[in-house]
Each structure stands twice: as C-alpha cells, then as structure tokens.
Amino acid sequence: MSAAQFKLELDAEWAATVDDIAEAVAGIGLEALTRIVRKTPVDTGRAKGNWVTSIGVVEASFDENAYDKAGAAAINEGATKLSGYPDEMPPIYIQNNLPYINRLENGWSGQAPQGMVGLTMVELEAMLAGGKDV
C-alpha cells in the first residue's frame, strides 16, 4: 500500500469516526431534551411548550402562546433540529426562557420538586459513566 492510499484510508476512517461521534452527541442531546420535557410540570402546558433546542446559537425569546401539555411538539422540533447535527459538533442548547422556569427548576412545583434540567444531567452522567447507551 502506498502512502497516498494509506492517507486516503485513514481520512475515510476519520470521517466515519467523526460521523459516529456527531450522531452520538445528537442522540445524547435528544435524550436530554426528552427527559427534561417529560419532567416539566404541567398546568397549562406553557412550560413544556417553551423548551427550545438550538445548535450553535442561544435563543433568547419565549412564546407566551406555546402550549404543549404532552411535550410532543417540543421533543419533535428538537429531534428535527438534531437530525441534521453537523460533524463540526457545535454546542447544543436546550433552553426555556419563560420568566418562571427557574422557579420550576428549583422545586416550585410539587410535580417536579427536584427540577428537570439538573436531575436530567445527573441521570445522563450516571448512564454515560456506567457505559450504558443513552
């Protein structure tokens, strides 16, 4: 095998590895979003409806009229965005900008006394540290 052939094979292996890593990162992002949304307490569904997934850019707005009691719309929107996650692997942001979301995260609701985001991060860290698939 020539050096040029070896380089081509090495480049192809590297590209495949990067694709696999990007796919795994997107999968972890979707798992995080799903867990966060499912843990979000429900009254009107506004809190669930305002979970937004973005790639590489922080979203600063919220929608007072976004109601999603089941959380399916927020999860589906995030899944759609993450399905095109690029090999450059920019940061994935999962956020909710409602004025009262911090209170919900800090146990304000009896439906989620341990919050949503922090608890999800602990769960994912434990899963990944244990070598389990997410």
Q: Please tell me the predicted confidence (pLDDT) of residue 13.
A: 81
Q: Between 132 and 14, whose confidence is greater?
A: 14
Beta bridge partners of 95: 52
- Phi, psi of 71, deg, nearest 5: 85, 0
**Whether the predicted model's global pTM rises above the 0.75 cut:** yes
What value does the mean pLDDT of the chain take?
A: 93
Per-residue pLDDT, averaged over 66-85, amounts to 97
Instruction: Kindly state the tokens that stand for 3.
Output: 């050096």
Q: Between 6 and 123, whose confidence is greater?
A: 123
Q: Please tell me the predicted confidence (pLDDT) of residue 7.
A: 74
Alpha-carbon distances, residue 35 vs 6, 12, 30, 122 (angstroms): 43, 35, 9, 11
